[in-house]
Structure 1
């Protein structure tokens, strides 16, 4: 199995917060891409890479970034022999290709024909997260049907449904639909879906079909990986693995919360495995 970490974003909100912070406590974060932020004892992305290799289910981690941050990621990757970094060729947020196009780009570049774990480079999860359990569940689903896919979800608050893609599932935990940022009255579900997908190799070719269909659409319809997931649900089986919550490092407040958690959460091995 291969893993792809999506790290081509520009972190504009976080950098604005750092620049405007009156205390100056976070000046050392200026110009640092979110996946390379220090979180507890390691950079955010290093938590993922170590967990993925420790799982022994992933033989290669592919990281897609942009030209602006390419050198920083290449230097970071020197410590990991089975990490490969690719730039999407852009140098500004306005030029961005979108996460789905970046996923397609790196899979084609490295000629991946395997099941793939897709991870948002600004995301970590809480203490009940177990990569080993998730991979085991995916393996069981694949044994039943090699077109099955697996995603994570967690319960969000009523007033948060309009911030996320919300999954509606059946009794077997198969996703029946994904509603994009619905009002609480538009769905009974509160299952938010972070960017952590285990995609079967049979689903990967559908990236081409999705991007071809959305070729003339605004970047917003092609950017978020949840847009592809919503489209995929109608074409391939997608199941849910429930977790308690996540850290989405979008701004300075969420970064501080995530960093504090991993500084205090000492039993990292239980989180990773």
Structure 2
């Protein structure tokens, strides 16, 4: 199995809030991409690496970022020799690729043909999320259908659809569409997925 981190977002809301803060407490976060924000003594994305490095099934790690944050991710990645980084080439939020396009770019760039676990680089799950159970469920699905896909989501409030990727599903919970930060009136779904 391969792991792909999506880290090509620009963190515009976080940056806006950091710049608006007058206390100076968050100055160290200026210009820092969300996956590299310190959480509990480690960079947020480092928590994922520490967990995933313990799995025998993970062969390789990939990360897609943008041109603006590429150097910061390259510096961080020196501690992780099994991690390869790729830039989507964008330089600002207006030209960003979006999660689905970044997955496609990574698959093409790294020639990925086997199972791929895609993780939003700025995602930190609650303690009740069990990665082993998630992977076990995925493997069970794979025995039934080789092209199976398993997606985590949670229900968001109506006004929050503009902050997240939203999944639309059919009556069997099969994903029929992915919408990138839609207005609430553009989709009946409130199934949010945290993608960068």
Q: TM-score range by the shorter chain?
A: 0.7 to 0.9
Q: Which runs of 5+ in 2 are unaligned?
A: none
Residue aligning to 1:76: 76
- The match for 1:151 is 151
TM-score (norm 2): 0.84
Larger radius of gyration: 1
Whether 1:130 aligns to 2:130 is yes
> Is 2:124 aligned against 1:121?
no
Counterpart position of 2:93: 93
- Counting matched residue pairs gives 191
Is the Cα–Cα contact under 8 Å of residues 60 and 82 in structure 2 kept in the other structure?
yes
Counterpart of 1:6 in structure 2 is: 6
Deviations 1:151-192 (A, max 9, x none): 1122445x457455255464xx632645855859x85x75x2
Q: Which range is displaced more, 70-79 or 90-99?
A: 90-99
Deviation string, structure 1 residues 85-137 (Cα, Å, up to 9, x no partner): 11122222233233322222222111111111111122211111111110000
Q: Give the structure with the larger helix fraction.
A: 1
CA–CA distance in 2 between the matches of 1:89 and 1:176?
28
Distance 1:103 1:4 in 2: 8
What's 1:142 paired with?
142
| Cα deviation code 1:167-224 (max 9, x no counterpart) | 5464xx632645855859x85x75x23147xxxxxxxxxxxxxxxxxxxxxxxxxxx8
Structure 1, unpaired ranges of 5+ = 197-223, 225-273
Matches within 5 A, 1:192-207: 192-195=191-194
Matched with 1:39 is 39
Residues 166 and 193, structure 1, Cα contact 8 Å, conserved in 2: yes
SS in 1 for 2:84: strand
RMSD (Å), alpha carbons:
2.5
**TM-aligned CA distance change 1:169 to 1:89, over 3 Å:** closer
Q: In the alignment, is the contact (CA less than 8 A) between 2:155 and 2:192 conserved in 1?
A: no
When residues 176 and 71 of structure 1 are mapped into structure 2, their CA distance, relative to the original with a 3 A threshold, is closer
Helix, strand or coil at the partner of 1:114: coil
Given that residues 53 and 59 in structure 1 are in contact (C-alpha distance below 8 angstroms), is that contact kept between their aligned partners in structure 2? no
